[in-house]
Amino acid sequence: MTDEPELAARTMLRQGPGLVVLTGPPGCGRTTLLRRIAAAVPGPVHLGGGLAMLATVPALALSRAVRARLPADDVPLLAEAVRSRVRGGLLVLDDLQYADPATVAALPHLARSIRVLVALRTPHRLPEPLATALRSAARAWLPVPPLTGEQAAALVRQTAGGLDDATAAAVVARAGGNPLAVIALARQSAAGRAPAGEDIDQVAYAIATALADLPRPARTALAALGLLGRPAAPALLGTGAADLVTAGLVTAEPGGALLPVSAYVAETAAGLLDGSARAEMHARLADLTPPAEAARHLAAAGDPAAAYRTALSAADRAHGAERCALLLFACGLDTTVDARVRLAAADAALATGRAPDAADVLRPLAATTGTAPTDLLALEAAVLRGEALLQAGDPAAARETVRAVPDTAAGAVVAARDRVLLLSTLATEPMSARELADKIAIRHPQPPPGITAALAAVRATHRLPGWDTALAEAAGFADPLIARWSSWLLVEHLAAEGRLVDAAGAALRAAETAGRELAYGWQTRFLAAADWALALHGPDFPPALSWDGVEGVLRRAANLTDLALPAQARAYATAATALIEADTGLLAAARARLDGVAAHPAAAWVAREAAWLDGQPDRAARVPADAGTGLLAGLHAITARWAAYDLGEPGDPAIPVDLPVPARRTLTAWAVGSGLDAAADSWQPVALREQIRCLIAAGLTGTDRDTAVAALLRAEELADTAGLTVLAGRARRGLRRHQIQRDTRSPRSDGRLTRRELDVLRLVAAGEPTRRIAGQLGISAETVDTHIRASMRKLAARTRTEAAALAFATTPAGPQPLDSHFGSPFDTHEDGR
């Protein structure tokens, strides 16, 4: 093995959070390299890994690493549980090819906040989406290279020092750089045996010849370990366990369980058994292992009927993801599967978020719906499969699946059918959904919760009177899936209407409920949505929210982005944080935070807005294809209008449909060239920053000088009060265009920093160059340099960076509004300079 992968892995893991993946074929030394890297990286190490026979046990690899039971039903919650235990340590997972899907899916989340080192054997059987996500999340994907000639020769000498040069060279040549083959072939040569023929796999031959020297009980015990795919108690392995310990082929874990030094050696030992012997051993292991594991051994032994019965028995005593896995396993066996078991498996899969699996397991039953319309189980399967397809994001297939369910079916089945038909129509043909909703409402005069929630969704989409009350009622249903889904619709529709405070309140209530039920994924999604609504609304939050101002929003949203989150929650939290940072002048921090965030209308708008604030209108002019609906669509269009104005180009006169009143009035005023000052007033209860932008636009485009100056002065006052530094600078530049000049010199009487000097140093601390500081504060580059020199003199600093560090060493930590009063060391001049 060369040392490049080791050096690369050590370097990356010392730099901070990230995922490093070591890959290679069996016997290449992945595990050895993994442990060597882990020993060289500072900090505590949490070592775990996958096990072959227990590959479907949820979160087993991570549970072994942190020595705790983990919540496997919710991937973000699983990742957060691991992160909270590992923190500054190193998470190490061996044999990732045997890990369950939840473990693999959690790794991209974990890689954002902790250091993760894993080994993955190739070829592997990871599902393609998981493998792709893993590769995308990895900071380094490092194949373990074969040994060089020198390294292989050194290993031969270390293993069998008495070999002559010619024999050692033959071993090196035949081993092909595989460490395991080198060791086994060197031992075989030292024992005086002839090398194998050219047509025999070298690694398999090396292991086979090495194992041939073991007593039969030891070979049987090692084969049993290979079939188990996990550590096992010595009593389960029989009398051969002691010989394996003596031979150094197994090690003892805490508690006494024996683990093979090389999983591949144990697997190869199992592979040396002939078919009948392997089946017999699986049957024996089924008698010695718990039901969940025994079912898989019975299946491997060729007894699917017994495996089916055992899996169902184990499922009766399991819950959550484990129950789901057992039921799906039973349905996949080559035996007669009861229709009720398939329905139970689909229910469990939907409850654990495995909608595609739920749809697949019901396919045999749903296929009979058209030919046996009176078969109740087939009809139940059809509507359940339709729900699964709908949740999996295929509304067209969902509608087609339930279409054959007749009106004469049982009431609950017809209601489930109508729910799927209505929601799939709403997703594909929103205008047709209203007519269908009226028909369904007549058919179900006392609708069950599922129908009620679907009808509320239609009313909300079309903004029918009382839509918010209907969704709020659906959000209070006992069924948690319907309640959370309805709560989320309520939050998003309220935000689209511009009712940001109401949206934040609904989100906080839903987050509290989800938190009590340990639904971490939903809880963080609601919290992030609340932070986004409040960040966009601006200061003066209602006391009823018990929210602690912009600083609190920034702190919470920034903290959320450091956790393992669902994609939608991360997008909202990132957008909230970046918007506050950009508006307060921390544009470099906002740009860095937005880099790489998943595509989302809110994050996309903040990225365009930050570019516009940074004096790059060309990067803000183009509205993305997915600009969202309602308020977000309006914000995207307004930013595009501003970019066109700055570029001296005509703006797009098209105005998106279904906008809240302030956005529609603003875009109309831009289109006709008047009325922006009136449009600004409509923003006052919605979003302060947009009110300020409207006032600035009125001041820049108005033809009456007195009215324009009044609008700009009001914009400057509001922006300064709220700490919106960049917009305040834009207002001041507008005032200069109208020849409004005021004394901006800094007081020098007692050596205190002025607020303007403090504003400049804050942007210096954020890494902004002079040009951007000037643009954000609405002053010239020469004035920026003057403020920096004055600050350096007052603070006795040798560089601008040192001045910034000294200035904020006594300033309250964290991004503060730039109009804050910083106490006696700083002069808060009344004109904000």
* Range with the largest mean pLDDT of 99-103, 502-506, 772-776: 502-506
In angstroms, the CA 74 to CA 80 distance is 10
Angle at 481 between CA 479 and CA 484, to 5 degrees: 105
Among the listed ranges 481-495, 712-726, 817-831, which one has the minimum average pLDDT value? Answer: 817-831
Determine the 3-state secondary structure of 753 from DSSP: strand
Q: Residue 259 — very low, low, confident or very high, per pLDDT cuts 50/70/90?
A: confident
CA 135 distance to own-chain centroid: 14
Is the pLDDT reported for residue 1 higher than 50?
A: no
Which residues touch 128 (CB under 8 Å, ≥6 apart)?
none
Does pLDDT of 15 surpass 90? no
pLDDT tens-digit readout, 607-644: 999 999 988 999 999 999 889 899 999 999 999 999 99
Write the pLDDT tens digit of every residue in 224-250.
988 888 888 998 898 899 888 887 788
Give the contacts of 676 (CB within 8 A, at least 6 positions apart). Answer: 666, 669, 670, 694, 695, 697, 698, 701, 702, 711
Tens of pLDDT, residues 708-753: 999 999 999 999 888 888 898 899 888 888 877 654 443 433 457 8
Contact (Cβ atoms closer than 8 angstroms) between residue 392 and residue 420: no
Q: In what order do the strands lie in the sheet with 45-49?
A: 45-49, 90-94, 115-121, 18-24, 140-143
Quickly state the pLDDT bin for 372 (edges 50, 70, 90). very low
Long-range contacts of 700-709 (CB under 8 A, 24+ apart): 700/645, 700/734, 700/737, 701/645, 701/673, 701/676, 702/674, 702/676, 702/677, 705/738, 707/677, 708/734, 708/738, 709/735, 709/738, 709/740
Which 8-state DSSP code applies to residue 597? P
The pLDDT of residue 367 is: 59
Query: Is-contact 295 329, C-beta < 8 A?
Result: yes
Distance, in Å, from the CA atom of 95 to the CA atom of 92, rounded to the nearest integer, reads: 10
Give the residue among 407, 426, 352, 417 at the shortest CA–CA distance from 386: 417
Pairing between β-strand 115-121 and β-strand 90-94 as defined by DSSP bridges = parallel
- 107 pLDDT exceeds 90? yes
CA distances from 42 to 18, 468, 525, 596, 630 (A): 15, 54, 34, 28, 50
321-336 mean pLDDT: 91
815: pLDDT strictly greater than 50:
no
Average pLDDT (562-577) is 86
Confidence of residue 56 (pLDDT cuts 50, 70, 90): confident
Top-confidence residue, 532 or 822: 532
Percent of the chain with pLDDT over 70: 91
Per-residue confidence band for 264, with pLDDT thresholds at 50, 70 and 90: low
Average pLDDT over residues 803-816: 58
Interatomic CA distance for residues 527 and 500, integer angstroms: 14
User: 524-544 as b/e, with b when 16 or more CB fall inside 10 Å?
Assistant: bbbbbbbbbbbbbbbeebeee
Q: What is the dihedral of CA 312, 318, 323, 327, to 10 degrees?
A: 0
Predicted local distance difference test score (pLDDT) of residue 822: 29
| Tokens of residue 112, six digits | 């954002």
Closest CA to 725 of 813, 618, 832, 606: 832
- Would you say 526 and 566 are in contact if contact means Cβ atoms under 8 Å apart? no
- Residue 163 DSSP symbol: -
Do residues 204 and 177 touch, judged by C-beta distance below 8 A?
Answer: no
Give the residues across from 90 on adjacent strands: 45, 115
Of the chain, the percentage scoring pLDDT greater than 90 comes to 41
Q: In a 3-state reduction of DSSP, which class is residue 592?
A: helix
How many CB atoms are closer than 10 A to CB 714? Answer: 19
Q: Residue 143: enclosing H or E segment and its boundaries?
A: strand 140-143
The CA-CA-CA angle for residues 412, 416, 417, to 5°, reads 115
Q: Rounded to an integer, what distance in angstroms lies between the CA atom of residue 786 and that of residue 806? A: 18
pLDDT in the model for residue 816: 37
Q: Which two tokens stand for residue 711?
A: 């609008």
- In this prediction, residue 742 carries a pLDDT of 54
Q: Return the beta strands (E) in 321-404 as ranges.
A: none
E strands present in 244-307: 250-252, 258-260
pLDDT digits (tens, 9 = 90+) for 269-312: 888 888 888 899 999 999 989 999 999 999 999 999 999 999 99
Residue 706 tokens, joined: 């007195």
Residue 825 pLDDT more than 70? Answer: no
174-198 mean pLDDT: 70
Q: What is the pLDDT of residues 509-525, one digit of tens each?
A: 999 988 887 777 788 88
Give mean pLDDT, residues 191-218: 64
Element (H, E) at 184: helix 179-190
CA 596/CA 586 separation, integer angstroms: 18
Mean per-residue pLDDT for 654-671?
A: 93
Cα 559 from Cα 577, distance rounded (Å):
10
User: 72, 352 in Cβ contact below 8 A?
Assistant: no
CA–CA separation, 156 and 171 (whole Å): 8
Residue 17 DSSP one-character state: S
Round the average pLDDT of the chain to a whole number and report it: 85
Distance (Å) of CA 365 to CA 199, 347, 356: 49, 14, 15
